[in-house]
Amino acid sequence: MVPSLRIPVPFENSLVVQFVHIYSGEKDPRGLEWSAIEKVFKDEVGENGLLLGSQSLTFKSFEVKYTECAVCSFAISRSMNSYTSRFLFDNYTLIVSEYLDSKRLHQILSDSADEIRKSAGMPEEDFGRIVPVYVFDLDYNSLLLLDRYHQSVAFKDMVIAVRTRNTQTVSDYSCNGRHVFTQTRELVRPLVGSILQSMWGVSPTHLSWSPRHNSTLVDYTWSIGQTPFGPFSELSSLSFVQKDAARRNILLTTMNYSISSAIDVLQSIETHGGDRNLLKGKQHVEFVQRWNLFKHKLNKAVSALSHLDFEMALYYLRSSDHDLYAIHSIVYHASQEIEASLVCFKDPSFPWASVSFSAVAFLFLSYVYAKRDKLFRNKRKQF
């Protein structure tokens, strides 16, 4: 089972992927076929995969010249870093290479999203989940990757990819004693994996969660074959593992929101003195009925998830939202009916008994202290 990428994936009816091709020099579509990327997801949608209920998936493409986009050139220049590697030829040689810092690039693109949208002629999208895919097609002859190793990096709100005129490089991995080559001009497969991460929160198949280590472990055993992740596969198609994880993440996010909202209601009831004090008569009866229905539907949703019946799980989760809304309404109206009251207490009577006892004890001790010589004197022995 593919672990979640810890990206919340709320349910949205409209899913939009915006390809933004930022190119310099002459355009070369080889290795960057938008239609091939779109076909991978459209085929899965046609086989009742990835989407739930009435969801729709739309792809839009835009182009921007690198020389005409001041923000783009600024983002690249500010994100450029270098590192030094040592190689053994006839003797040890130091080679300085460049790479792009993906986090800094992401920050600049996020801050300048409106300017890039204006330069690319991208319309405003009011509804749905939108994931822009920024591809920097640079007219550089040297190799330039993201964070030294990646052609594409996924974030929760965008995907960033880069390629140059360099065609291939030797990766740090080997298979059967041979080095694995990375075709740096081919971006279809890396983009498919990154879109899957950003849009549906699916983690790469070589990442797994270890409760013992309380951390993420890397194991490339499951990144060989039908997967768009990792350097050991050449396929862009999705297996049932990724498709199931994509739909399951949406349902788990929805369920988490429902449970968090229910906890907020219970805390509100507790601050008002409990359900017996807050809810009176019919309100309490209706609250108990709605609460039992809410729990029943959540249990049904969990059961449907365990049987991979994602449509039925979505049905129960959507139905539970009605009960949760009714619970919120009951508690809200009950809290509005609470009236503040001031109860005055009479002053307690004077404690004559305790005061009298204390006075008698004080007088007795005073008498004993005054007569101590007579009461405790030693008798002399008579000889």
**Look-up: residue for tokens 């672990």?**
3
Task: Parse the chain into domains and list their residue ranges.
Answer: 14-200, 248-336
Tens of pLDDT along the chain (383 residues)? 334 446 788 899 999 999 999 998 888 888 888 999 999 998 888 887 788 888 999 999 999 999 888 999 999 999 999 888 776 656 667 777 889 999 999 999 999 988 988 888 888 877 889 999 999 999 888 889 999 888 999 999 999 999 999 888 887 777 887 888 888 889 999 999 999 999 999 988 888 888 888 888 888 887 887 888 888 888 888 888 888 989 999 999 999 999 999 999 999 989 888 888 888 888 899 999 999 999 999 999 999 999 999 999 999 999 999 999 999 999 999 888 876 666 676 777 777 888 888 888 888 888 777 777 776 665 444 44
Contact criterion met (CB below 8 Å) for 76 and 108 = no
What are the tokens at 364? 């007795």
Q: Alpha carbon of 109 to those of 29, 100, 114, 129: distances in Å?
A: 24, 13, 9, 18
- What is the pLDDT at residue 341? 65
| Spatial separation of the C-alpha atoms in residues 251 and 230, rounded to whole Å | 26
- Taking the CA of residue 204 as centre, how many other CA atoms within 13 Å lie in the half-sphere pointing to its CB? 24
Distance of alpha carbon 219 from alpha carbon 211, whole angstroms: 15
Quick one: tokens of 164?
């140059």
Rounded to two decimals, what is the model's pTM?
0.80
Which residues is 197 bridged to in the sheet? Answer: none
| Cα–Cα dist 204/241, whole Å | 11
Q: Tell the residue number behind the tokens 């809304």, with chain if given.
A: 325
